[in-house]
Amino acid sequence: MTPVEPAATRTPRRGRLAPRAAIAAACAVAAALALSACTGLPHLPLPDAQGPAPAVTPPPAVVPLPEADPEAIALADRMFLTEEGRTLFLSTLPELADAERIEEACAGAGDTDADGVFTGGCFVGSQHRVDDRIHIFRPGDERLAESMVTVAAHELLHAAYARLSPMERATVDPLLAEATAGVPADDPVHEQIAWSTDGDDAKLATERFSYLGSQIHPPGGFAAELERLYARWFTDRAALVDTHHRASSVVQDSIAAADAAFSTAAAQESQNAQARAQLDADRRAYDSALAAYSADLAQFEATPVEERGRWEVTLRPVGAEPVTMSWEASLTYRHDELEGFRADLAARDAALTQAEASAAALRADAEQQRADAIALVRAANPNAEIED
């Protein structure tokens, strides 16, 4: 899920999207999912050696579970699961559902005061594990399909942690604390864990177990003992984490593409505006020179023929040495120069008109990419706050 966050039984997403090119990373969590951990009865503690064992309701009779949904089976095929992992995942009868159903099934987990957060999935635990259930948000955009792999893996790890014995947890919890401390401070997983635990330290270990296992794979992996534990459920955890990285980048890549499109359009528009201003200035200069030429030509034609040859004119072309010639020759020179200038203005205007049309097309494309990015954000996180 785009950034996925675990939480007691939920996988919420948070996000904010700015309106223009700058759909910036502000949208940052265009789709940050908060994953959730076990909601339901906690794992039973061992009885105190000094006192009587607490009364425990006997487990219900084993009833064959209905077959998992074909959609969930197809998802399991993409999760890099071992046989044990696949069995556990499918035993929870995973439900892939829309936003409304997920909000209902995963209500009450994580930091409910957080703005722009949507639950992307959850694991709902039961006392005897028979009724454990996993719920996974199914985004409405196929480009977000890989996010379901991350959410499903995350929730599976909640189910796995719920099944660890107290002795196993006593061994793995310190390893998780050490592994979490080794994750760079700016990695979003820290915020995700904080959201999912919502200040409840009792949830910290299961959230670390689920987030780290599904989203983090440092060079060389975690401590060998922790990796061996994860290997009970996953055949290739590095590939699983790569899937998470791809899923997490979908929304951000779309936002970045829209930003880049806006930048390209704005640069072309700015260049065109400067070219148009220069063209207008040059056209005014041409009009002024043409008016002066026309006045001189009228004066020349009004001058008696026998007097015209008595006059000479010195012209000072830009970037060239002054040239002295007869009045009539100077008028011919200026006429030819003005004709060249007029042709140049016409060619520049045609090219600029085409460039302005191209810039308008770039702007329209940027707007379309922005609209697509916003739609993708909303598909990933129905609760995303998008600023106008």
DSSP 141: S
Query: What is the model's pLDDT at position 251?
Result: 95
Domains of the chain, each with CATH number or no CATH: 12-45+60-248 (no CATH), 259-381 (1.10.287)
The answer on pLDDT for 169 being more than 60 is yes
Query: What is the model's pLDDT at position 101?
Result: 93
200: alpha, beta or left, given left = phi > 0 and alpha = psi -120 to 50? beta
Q: Could you give the percent of the chain with pLDDT greater than 90?
A: 72
Query: What is the model's pLDDT at position 130?
Result: 86
Q: Could you give the percent of the chain with pLDDT greater than 70?
A: 80
Closest of 251, 32, 6, 43 to residue 152, by C-alpha? 6
Neighbours of 293 (CB within 10 A): 16
| pLDDT tens-digit map of 237-253 | 999 999 999 999 999 99
Mean pLDDT of the chain: 85
Q: Could you tell me the CA-to-CA distances from 279 to 161, 227, 339, 349, 353 in Å, in that order?
A: 71, 68, 16, 7, 11
DSSP class per residue in 324-381: EEEHHHHHHHHHHHHHHHHHHHHHHHHHHHHHHHHHHHHHHHHHHHHHHHHHHHHHH-
Among 106-110, 186-190, 354-358, 361-365, name the one with the lowest average pLDDT. Answer: 106-110
Query: What is the model's pLDDT at position 317?
Result: 87
Report yes or no: 10 and 104 within 8 Å, Cβ to Cβ. Answer: no
Residue 388 burial (10 A CB sphere; 0-12, 13-18, 19+): exposed
What whole-number distance in Å separates Cα of residue 152 and Cα of residue 6? Answer: 11
The answer on pLDDT for 1 being more than 50 is no
Length of the chain: 388
27: alpha, beta or left, given left = phi > 0 and alpha = psi -120 to 50? alpha
Q: What are the residues whose beta carbons fall under 8 Å from the beta carbon of 298, sequence distance 6 or more? A: none
E strands, the chain, in order: 12-14, 16-17, 32-33, 38-39, 95-97, 117-119, 121-124, 133-137, 312-315, 323-326, 385-386
pLDDT-derived band at 81, boundaries 50, 70, 90: very high
Higher pLDDT, 46 or 284: 284
Bridge partners of 61, per DSSP, are: none
Q: Which helix (H) or strand (E) holds 23?
A: none
Neighbours of 250 (CB within 10 A): 22
DSSP class per residue in 281-318: HHHHHHHHHHHHHHHHHHHHHHS-HHHHTT-EEEE--T
The answer on pLDDT for 26 being more than 90 is no
